[in-house]
Structure formats: structure tokens, C-alpha cells
Structure 1
Amino acid sequence: MTSPRRPAAPASRALAALPLLSLLLLAGAPAHAVPGGDIGTLHNGRWTCEFPGDAANRPRSAPEESFRILPDSSYTTTDRRHAGTYLLLGKVMTMTSGPFNGRSYEAQSASTVLQVDAQGRRTGLRCVRAGAPSGGYSDAPAAGNAGL
């Protein structure tokens, strides 16, 4: 003779639903690819670099440090002979291939980046987007917001 099946206890039903609940909660959470901030891109165009001046010294242009930002996180040298890629994570932009491979910059605004050395100290070089102003990063938070 078989005994009638008893319904599962409420606790065991809750435990059985836990994996499904976890998946639903994770699906609504924003995805962050890596620590260090959201991935973004800079506006396309020419970025001119210089060592800023002060009351005693004029700014000194550094055309050999200047670059042009292209679509798809790419850049070229100003003469367009050499190309590479960059990665923008939060406020830090790093050249990841090409002639400027390994150089890093800290974004100060939507149109200004400051070069930093391997320890994160500013080198004195700044690069600004040349041409007509057109806003901030194409898909990263605007300057002055939580992202910058």
C-alpha cells in the first residue's frame, strides 16, 4: 500500500526557486566589463597636444604627440601614416596598440586629456580636441557628471 504524497514544505519550495530568482535579479543589474569604469570612446577628430604655459612662459606645442581619433576606438598619428587603438575606462584613456602604445591620459573634460606616467602622475602634456565644439564623449558620461 502506498502512502499519499505529502506536499513539499514551503522552505524547500523557496530553495528550489532561488536559482531562478538569482538569474532574474542579475538580468536587471547593469553590466560592467571591467573594474575601472564604464567603457567609452572619445569624439572623433584632431587632438592637439602642448605643454601649457603660465605667466612667465608661453605654451609649447608638441605636434609629435598629437593624434586623430577615429571610429571604433582607433587613432592615427597626425600625418595618418601610423594607426593604433585605445581604451577609455572611466576617466583613463590608454593607447593599447600602434605608435603610442602604452601611453595613458586622464580625461579632465570632454575635450581635454592630460598625459600621465606609469605611476599615474601628470607629465605636464595636455591634449585638446581641435575644431568646433560638439559635446562630450560619444558614449561615455559627460564631463562634470558622476562618470568624470
Structure 2
Amino acid sequence: MAQGRLGLLPQGEYVCALPGSADGSAWQEVEGRNFAITGASSYKAGNGSGTYLMEGKRITFTRGPMKGMRMMRVSSGMLQEVDRGGKLGRLRCHRAGPVSD
């Protein structure tokens, strides 16, 4: 069942991180989880490219190296991972800028 209107994420590079600690840095970037939204429903990750589906605020990566990963759009430039149980996880990805060549 659809969760809302179909949409597209803003194109650009997305950097993914976990919350840090009070005595260290605020965020810990997660190696190998960054990706770029490259066009209409398309993304590129370090080890390939694929497609995603955005229904309302829910994003599901449908093909490629991130297939099966689910995220929720929590603000205009911030996505948060959704776990298998449907709860928001700790991993957050923010749009860091335009797609680099």
C-alpha cells in the first residue's frame, strides 16, 4: 500500500554518519555508506548505482548496492535510516552539496 505521493530527493552528495559522544566529535562519518542522488530516482554509491522509490517521506532503495535499505526524510536535506521493525535507526545522511564529477 502506498505511503503517500511519489517524489524525488534533491540531487547531490549525501554523507552518512552516526551520532558521536559528549567527549568527542558530534558525528562519526560511516565509511562506505555515502551516496549521491544523480537524477530522477537514481543514485550512485561507491560500489555501483541503482534506483530508489520515494513515497511521501519514505525512501526505499529498490536496485543496486543499497537495495533493501529504507530511510525516512526527516527534513529537507536529512534522511534517517529505518530498521527492519519500522523504527528510526541511528544512521543519518545529510545532503552535503552538488554531485561531484
The equivalent of 1:103 in structure 2 is 69
Q: Which runs of 5+ in 2 are unaligned?
A: none
Q: Which runs of 5+ in 1 are unaligned?
A: 1-33, 133-148
| Counterpart mapping for 1:10-49 below 5 A | 35-49=2-16
Deviations 1:79-109 (A, max 9, x none): 4x40000000011001000000000001111
Aligned length: 97
The equivalent of 1:126 in structure 2 is 92
Contact 1:116/1:122 (8 A) holds in 2: yes
Question: Which structure's residues are more often helix, by fraction?
Answer: 1
Aligned amino acid, residue 43 of structure 2? Y
50-59 or 98-107: which moved more? 50-59
| Counterpart mapping for 1:1-148 below 5 A | 35-58=2-25, 59-77=27-45, 79=46, 81-131=47-97
Identity %: 35
Larger-gyration structure (1/2): 1
Question: TM-score normalized by structure 1?
Answer: 0.61
Which structure has more relative contact order (CA 8 Å, sep 6+)? It is 2
Deviations 1:85-141 (A, max 9, x none): 000001100100000000000111110000011111222100000027xxxxxxxxx
Question: Which structure's residues are more often strand, by fraction?
Answer: 2
Aligned amino acid, residue 83 of structure 1? S
The equivalent of 1:22 in structure 2 is none
Query: RMSD between aligned alpha carbons?
Result: 1.5
Task: Give me the whole-angstrom Cα distance separating, in 1, the residues matched to 2:57 and 2:83.
Answer: 15
Task: Give me the whole-angstrom Cα distance separating, in 1, the residues matched to 2:53 and 2:78.
Answer: 16
